[in-house]
């Protein structure tokens, strides 16, 4: 028995998938999973953040999973209480998915992910995300807000 290698046509199609499309697909998968997870028990799940598991303190990304689950179940208040950037990140995933699908439908190449990540809007949003995480960390350490 011999194993056949993939056809050149298949290899070309796989290679034609851009990093933007892969990132959008992973993000959409995350949104779908968040919609499928029950919101009722999301607070009782395990701590999956290594920083929080070691220190007991939240990192900037702590609460994103809960935020997505709450948002996908229509609980905007709890989504924002879990992590303000949850809704922002879901919006970014939706925009990236729409851009990727549009590019496929028009048979054009989607925007390069490296260029998107280096855009002033994305860099500014990331800086705000880090600042939010730092403020939340300081407020948690001083007891001004409860640990998440």
Residue 18: name the closest of 106, 109, 108, 95 by CA. Answer: 109
> Residue 146: is its pLDDT beyond 60?
yes
How far apart, in whole angstroms, are the C-alpha atoms of residue 30 and residue 36? Answer: 10
How far apart, in whole angstroms, are the C-alpha atoms of residue 66 and residue 71? Answer: 8
How far apart, in whole angstroms, are the C-alpha atoms of residue 113 and residue 49? Answer: 26
- Predicted local confidence at residue 148, as pLDDT: 66
DSSP 8-class letter at 148: -
pLDDT band at 109; cut points 50, 70, 90: confident
pLDDT band at 13; cut points 50, 70, 90: low
pTM over 0.75? The answer is yes
Question: Is the dihedral angle over the CA atoms 69, 51, 92, 83 positive or is it negative?
Answer: positive
Question: Is the dihedral angle over the CA atoms 118, 122, 128, 130 positive or is it negative?
Answer: negative
User: CB of 31 within 8 A of CB of 68?
Assistant: yes
Which value, to the nearest 10 degrees, does the dihedral of the CA atoms of residues 74, 76, 77, 82 take?
100
- Predicted local confidence at residue 1, as pLDDT: 53
Mean confidence (pLDDT) of the chain: 86
pLDDT band at 10; cut points 50, 70, 90: low
User: CB of 43 within 8 A of CB of 136?
Assistant: no
pLDDT band at 9; cut points 50, 70, 90: low
- Predicted local confidence at residue 68, as pLDDT: 95
The mean pLDDT value for 61-75 works out to 93
The mean pLDDT value for 133-141 works out to 89
pLDDT band at 15; cut points 50, 70, 90: low
């Amino acid at each position: 028995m011999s194993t056949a290698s993939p056809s050149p046509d298949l290899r070309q199609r796989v290679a034609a998938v851009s990093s933007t499309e892969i990132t959008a697909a992973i993000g959409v998968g995350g949104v779908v999973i968040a919609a499928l997870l029950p919101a009722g028990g999301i607070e009782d799940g395990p701590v999956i953040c290594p920083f929080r598991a070691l220190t007991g303190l939240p990192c900037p990304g702590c609460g994103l999973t809960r935020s997505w689950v709450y948002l996908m179940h229509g609980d905007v208040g709890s989504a924002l209480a879990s992590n303000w950037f949850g809704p922002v990140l879901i919006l970014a995933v939706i925009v990236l998915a729409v851009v990727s699908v549009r590019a496929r439908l028009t048979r054009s190449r989607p925007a390069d992910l490296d260029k998107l990540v280096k855009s002033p809007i994305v860099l500014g949003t990331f800086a705000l995300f880090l600042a939010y995480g730092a403020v939340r960390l300081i407020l948690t350490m001083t007891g001004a807000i409860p640990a998440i």
